[in-house]
Structure 1
Amino acid sequence: MNVLVFASRKGGSGKSTLAAHLATYIATPERKTLLIDADPQGSLSFWHRIRGTENPALKHGSRSLADALKEAKREGFDWVLIDTPPNKSQVVVEAIKHATLVIIPTRPSLFDIAAVQDTIAIARELRKPYAAVLNGAPAKRHDAEAPIVSDARGALNALKVPVWAGQVTHRADFSMALAEGEGAEEFDPESSAADEIGRLWTAIDRSIKAVQGAYRNARAARSAA
């Protein structure tokens, strides 16, 4: 079972939005998917009520994430996406502790780049793979990133932070889809918003397979020693 944790100390970074759009993209009959809303603000739970369907399923509450994940595994979920509050609370630490991959959304601004460092420190301390995703970015022009996005990417690279090569652009389709209880792919499969979520999912899937491959190789090396 793969666990994606969306974490950032900065409010408004887009954790809930990315979790919702990715969950609807991931959830297929072959990929049983669960959302866990561990943020007291309850944005994911609100969206899920509008959605009115249990695909993806949702559990809310931040108590005993370990027990919730054990139950999810017993129920046969393949993917679990956890939305966390914008702070460094024990809930965030526990979620990261159980993560297969930590996704750190960040908007291309000075305050956002400064805020991600706290989340990165937790992931590094717990030795969990993580990656930043530039979110709410200005649209590209002639396939070139806006200067503010390039500067943010450079700042993250200087901090030795893995950064997704793409971006999630500030688009009306993302908000309009959520208002309908949908993800970008469901709202308009041909849209640029759906394409960006698809590209992000491909990168996440590739990263997790690489992490799992490295883990298997390490175990094999230990067994042979």
Structure 2
Amino acid sequence: MQTIVLATQKGGSGKSTLAIGLAVAARNAGHNVRLIETDPQGTLSNWQSRRGVAEPMVETIYNVGRIESRLEQLSRGGVTLTIIDTASGVSAITAAAIRCADLCLIPTRPSVTDIEASAATLKAVRAWRKPFAYVLNQTPVRGRRIDTAAQALGGEDGRAMSEMIARPFISMRNDHQDALASGLAVSEYAPTGKSAEEISQLWRWTEARLGGDVSSHEIFSLASGPGRLQSGAAQVVETATAQPLTPGADGLTSWDACL
């Protein structure tokens, strides 16, 4: 069994909607999927209530000591993929989830402040030497902000750092919030829409990354982007790398997902 953890310091980055989208995409690809919610806000649980008994099922874990043992039970029970949705910040239970992860995804909106706020999460991920990638989420369909954010994450050596950034970027569209309100994933709500296509591609990228089959040339070449670096955000990765952490330390719409 493989485990994906979605974590980030800042709220409103869209962790829960991404977790749901990836879980359903993975199930459609043949995986036996379980969603685990460690966020007391309960977004996944509320989604499951609206959804009914349809897979993938959601279970809640708020006790830090239960994460590892439950993952072992799920693996023995035939689950092939677990996706863990965490609360904002870096709590003890989030750190425990990261410790068990095969891949950590760090969702961030395409703004300098959101990218800078991800530094604490990145330090926790690096403390356990876990593979990770940023997911640029809730991006405008067009505009230079996306390129600027991507370059800020990648730093000056864009080609070398591009493995850190998942593809494609996930655009901000009504389908995501409408699907969530209906107890569906976006691929179920509007299966032929752009949002469903992006989530499907993101799952394929993630699956390849889990298998170790993704190279920087295949993912994304930041070197060709037109934006200029934002000096503060461009140093997020460098700062997190330079300051090691001891393992175990604690249609468009303007919508704030807060998920």
* TM-score (norm: length of structure 2): 0.77
What TM-score comes out, normalization by structure 1 length? 0.88
Paired position in structure 2 for 1:15 = 15
Deviation at 1:189, TM superposition (A): 1.2
| Structure 2 letter corresponding to 1:124 | R
Give the superposition deviation at 1:30.
3.2
Segment of structure 1 superposing worse, 57-66 or 201-210? 57-66
Aligned partner of 2:201 in structure 1 is 199
Does structure 2 conserve the Cα–Cα contact (< 8 Å) formed by 1:23 and 1:81? yes
**Matched residues, percent identical?**
35
1:34 matched residue in structure 2: 34
Judge conservation of contact 1:3–1:98 (CA < 8 Å) in 2.
yes
Q: 1:147 aligns with which of 135, 141, 144?
A: 144
Counterpart code for 2:171? T
How far off is 1:136 after superposition? 0.3
Q: Which residue of 2 aligns with 1:219?
A: none
If asked which structure has higher relative contact order (CA below 8 Å, sep 6+), I would say 2
Return the offset for 1:62. 2.2
Provide the C-alpha distance between the structure 1 equivalents of 2:137 and 2:79, rounded to a whole number of angstroms. 27
Mapped contact 1:24–1:182 kept (Cα < 8 A): no
What secondary structure does 2:211 align onto?
Answer: helix
Give the corresponding residue for 1:156. Answer: 153
**Partners of 1:202 and 1:2 in 2: CA distance:** 15
Q: 1:208 to 1:90 in 2, by over 3 A?
A: same
CA distance in 2, matches of 1:132, 1:77: 25
Aligned 1:201-220 pairs, distance under 5 A = 201-210=203-212
1:66 alignment counterpart: 68
Specify the alignment match of 2:173 in structure 1: 171
Distance 1:41 1:211 in 2: 35
Distance across 1 between alignment mates of 2:30 and 2:148? 39
Which 5+ residue runs of structure 2 have no aligned equivalent? 215-259
Secondary structure class of the residue paired with 1:26: helix
CA deviation map 1:119-161 (0-9, x unaligned) = 1111111000000000000013xxxxx2111111011001857
In the alignment, residue 106 of structure 1 is paired with which amino acid? T
Confirm whether residue 81 of structure 1 aligns to residue 83 of structure 2: yes
Q: CA deviation at 1:172?
A: 0.2
Q: Supply the distance in 1 between the matched residues of 2:133 and 2:185 (Cα, whole angstroms).
A: 22
- Hey, what's the Cα distance between the residues in 2 that align with 1:38 and 1:151? 32
Query: In the alignment, which residue of structure 2 is the partner of 1:24?
Result: 24
Q: Secondary structure at the match of 1:134?
A: strand
Q: Is 114-123 or 191-200 further displaced after alignment?
A: 114-123
Q: How many residues align?
A: 207
- Displacement of 1:61: 2.0
User: What is the match of residue 216 of structure 1?
Assistant: none
Q: C-alpha distance in 2, partners of 1:66/1:87? A: 20
Question: Per-residue CA shift, 1:27-70, capped at 9, x if unaligned?
Answer: 14831100000111111111111110240021112211011111
- Let me know the Cα RMSD of the aligned residues: 1.6
8 Å contact kept, 2:6–2:15: yes
Question: Take 1:70 and 1:167, find their aligned partners in 2: how far apart are those partners?
Answer: 32
Secondary structure of 1:210's counterpart equals coil
* Number of the residue aligned with 1:143: none
Write out per-residue CA displacement over residues 59-108 of structure 1, whole angstroms, 9 at most, x where no aligned residue.
Answer: 11221101111111121100000001101111111000000100100001
Matches of 1:181 and 1:52 in 2, distance apart?
8
Amino acid across the alignment from 1:202: R
SS in 2 for 1:111: helix
